[in-house]
Amino acid sequence: MKGYVIRIFIVLCTPVFGFSSSKTTFNTVKKDCFLLVAGGDANDPSDYTWTASALNCPGTGRICMIVISSSDVYTLPEAIEAGSDKWVGRPKVNQTALAEDLSNAAKSVSDPYTAPSGRIFYKEH
């Protein structure tokens, strides 16, 4: 009887053990670059334009470009909920998490400044 119970256990558990082994997968996160328009407000999503790649900043000492994940970019429902459908496709710089990183980047002497979140801020001194 004992051998029979062990065989049943092995037969029932083998599929669980066989398919539960995790395989390492790598998730890639799309990154977006946004330029702050000349004289723009760093905390206003409307003052950013999307760019295909990192460009040289004008050397003003202010934030001029950010590189963020696509989750930091407004979708239509998020933009409407936040207050303006004009923010669709713009960075969520007026939302707490990104605004805090933006503030820390502005205070930092590092250029570029990479926040613990992985966001990158360029200001070119």
pLDDT tens digits for 69-94?
999 999 999 999 999 999 999 999 99
Please give the backbone phi and psi of residue 112, each rounded to the nearest 5 degrees, phi first.
Answer: -75, 160
pTM surpassing 0.75? Answer: no
Q: What percent of the chain has pLDDT over 70?
A: 69
Which pair of structure tokens corresponds to residue 66?
Answer: 């950010």
Q: Between 104 and 60, where is the model more confident? A: 104
pLDDT surpassing 50 at residue 107? yes
pLDDT band at 123 (very low <50, low <70, confident <90, very high): confident
Q: How far is CA 3 from CA 10, 14, 113, in A?
A: 11, 16, 64
Q: What's the DSSP call for residue 59? A: S
pLDDT score, position 112: 86
Torsion angle (degrees, nearest 10) of CA 40, 43, 48, 54: 100
Over residues 111-121, mean pLDDT:
91
Q: Which strand ranges, in their side-by-side order, compose the sheet holding 31-36?
A: 48-51, 31-36, 65-69, 120-122, 113-114
Q: Which helix (H) or strand (E) holds 7?
A: helix 2-20
